[in-house]
């Protein structure tokens, strides 16, 4: 198992990889004590059947730069293969504002190829390669050096099995003509907006029991302060204060440190210093927010007049389509989208792109009374009206 610890050795490997049709990639990182993930290891493998074309890259080695890897990521002649790539892509985007292109995510491809929703790597290894993955090193501290042989073996397996999985799924996509489906799904993964959290949009992730604009104004300011504080100091947002404390603060509206001390859910460290001052300032901004600038929650689906019979028919249609196409139902349309379609909404993902071809067109025809559903033995069939 070769471990790369210098920029020169990384450049040599990447030059060799640039001559290949694809390279498999994975990472090991820590995020428990930081806002941004701490990259601890990068695993790379070129096509092959053993470990000879696979390496471990130690980003914590003194003096090493990842520039050769990022140049490989920009090389459009080499497919970069990941499994469940989102967190890996976030690391590289934050570090170098780079996305691997072209990208292939085996988890996305597996869903499109009928392996179920968010299928795990171990499942694909078992079903496609007929092998197994040793999970004992999964939750180890990847920042500690030296790495054990068990850690290295576990990490390398994440890219060596991935080669066979990629080749299998790529061939299946070519046979079924569903490569475009995967490309559509990957658009979000390779969008900068996916990985940039704007502090004044952070409130949308906080679950509250009220949609009062005044209350949400305070929630917005508190969430924005927390996000900014966490980003600037690279600490987890929950280390500043948790969501339940944030909601409590929005209800209490403390105007002084004495009032702040009455919060039951606030961590001790947040009752003094910069965090306490930031909380009081955020609450003040929220309280004084002009009505025209108060946040307006999305209530477009709050009072949908759902036709329950039509919603049930759409569920039957979806089940028939997913069985026919071999695709997970939730990948095409979650229950909320079916209800929205039954209520007359048309701006839903299930009615766009490849989903429209597989399900959306007939869903709209069913809503318009142009088709009906009938039982044919154990199957459901679409009939023209």
Structural contact between residues 319 and 261, judged by C-beta atoms closer than 8 angstroms: no
Name the residue among 236, 237, 216 with its Cα closest to residue 225.
237
Using CA atoms, how far residue 116 sits from 113, 134, 322, 325, in Å, is 8, 23, 11, 12
- Beta-bridge mates of residue 43: 26, 56
Name the residue among 76, 30, 26, 78 with its Cα closest to residue 55.
26
The confidence score (pLDDT) of residue 303 equals 63
Q: Tell me which DSSP letter residue 53 carries.
A: G
The confidence score (pLDDT) of residue 1 equals 79
Question: To 5 degrees, how large is the angle CA 235–CA 215–CA 220?
Answer: 35
Q: Tell me which DSSP letter residue 127 carries.
A: I
CA 163 to CA 159: how far, in whole Å?
A: 7
- Beta-bridge mates of residue 38: 30
Helix axis angle for 335-342 and 308-325, nearest 10°, is 130
3-state secondary structure of 382: strand
Q: Is the peptide bond before 102 cis (omega within 30 degrees of 0)?
A: yes
Structural contact between residues 145 and 60, judged by C-beta atoms closer than 8 angstroms: yes
- Beta-bridge mates of residue 25: 44
**76, exposed or middle or buried, with CB in 10 Å at 0-12, 13-18, 19+?**
exposed
The confidence score (pLDDT) of residue 306 equals 86
The confidence score (pLDDT) of residue 299 equals 64
Name the residue among 220, 226, 218, 234 with its Cα closest to residue 274.
226
CA 294 to CA 278: how far, in whole Å?
A: 20
CA 289 to CA 328: how far, in whole Å?
A: 45
Question: How confident is the prediction along the chain (385 residues), in pLDDT tens digits per residue?
Answer: 799 999 999 999 999 999 999 999 999 999 999 999 999 999 999 999 999 999 999 999 999 999 999 999 999 999 999 999 999 999 999 999 999 999 999 999 999 998 988 889 999 999 999 988 887 777 889 999 999 999 999 999 999 999 999 999 999 999 999 999 999 999 999 999 999 999 999 999 999 988 899 999 999 999 999 999 999 999 999 999 999 999 999 999 999 999 999 999 999 999 999 999 999 999 999 999 999 999 987 666 566 788 899 999 999 999 999 988 988 888 899 999 999 999 999 999 999 999 999 999 999 999 999 999 998 888 898 899 8
Q: Is the peptide bond before 19 cis (omega within 30 degrees of 0)?
A: no
Residue-wise DSSP of 193-215: GGT---GGGGGGGS--S---HHH
Report the greatest alpha carbon distance in the chain.
Answer: 72
Domains of the chain: 2-194 (3.30.420.10), 200-293 (1.10.150.80), 308-384 (no CATH)
Structural contact between residues 125 and 112, judged by C-beta atoms closer than 8 angstroms: no
CA 134 to CA 137: how far, in whole Å?
A: 8
What residues contact residue 190 under an 8 Å CB cut-off, 6+ apart?
89, 99, 101, 103
């Amino acid at each position: 198992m070769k471990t790369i610890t210098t920029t020169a050795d990384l450049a040599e490997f990447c030059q060799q990889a640039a001559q290949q049709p694809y390279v498999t990639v994975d990472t090991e990182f820590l995020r428990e004590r930081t806002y941004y993930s701490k990259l601890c290891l990068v695993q790379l493998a070129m096509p092959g059947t053993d470990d000879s074309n696979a390496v471990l890259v130690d980003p914590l080695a003194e003096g090493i730069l990842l520039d050769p890897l990022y140049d490989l990521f920009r090389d459009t002649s080499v497919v970069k293969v990941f499994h469940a790539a989102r967190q890996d892509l976030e690391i590289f985007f934050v570090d170098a504002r780079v996305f691997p292109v072209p990208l292939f995510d085996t988890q996305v491809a597996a869903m499109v190829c009928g392996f179920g929703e968010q299928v795990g790597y171990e499942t694909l290894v078992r079903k496609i390669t007929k092998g197994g993955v040793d999970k004992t090193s999964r939750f180890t501290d990847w920042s500690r050096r030296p790495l054990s042989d068990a850690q290295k073996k576990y990490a390398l397996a994440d890219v060596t099995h991935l080669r066979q999985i990629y080749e299998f799924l790529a061939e299946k996509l070519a046979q079924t003509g569903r490569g475009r489906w995967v490309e559509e799904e990957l658009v979000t993964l390779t969008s900068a907006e996916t990985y940039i959290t704007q502090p004044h949009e952070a409130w949308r992730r906080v679950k509250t029991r009220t949609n009062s604009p005044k209350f949400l104004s305070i929630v917005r300011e508190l969430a924005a302060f927390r996000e900014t504080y966490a980003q600037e100091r690279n600490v987890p947002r929950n280390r500043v204060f948790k969501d339940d404390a944030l909601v409590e603060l929005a209800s209490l509206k403390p105007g002084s440190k004495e009032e702040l001390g009455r919060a039951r859910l606030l961590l001790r460290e947040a009752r003094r210093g910069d965090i306490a001052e930031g909380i009081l300032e955020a609450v003040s901004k929220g309280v004084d927010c002009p009505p025209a600038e108060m946040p307006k929650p999305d209530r477009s689906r709050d009072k949908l007049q759902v036709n329950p019979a039509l919603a049930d028919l759409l569920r039957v249609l979806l089940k028939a389509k997913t069985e026919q196409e071999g695709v997970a139902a939730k990948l095409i349309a979650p229950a909320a989208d079916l209800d929205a379609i039954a209520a007359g909404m048309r701006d839903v993902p299930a009615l766009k792109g490849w989903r429209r071809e597989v399900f959306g067109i007939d869903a709209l025809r069913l809503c318009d009374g142009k088709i009906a559903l009938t039982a044919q033995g154990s199957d459901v069939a679409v009939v023209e009206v």
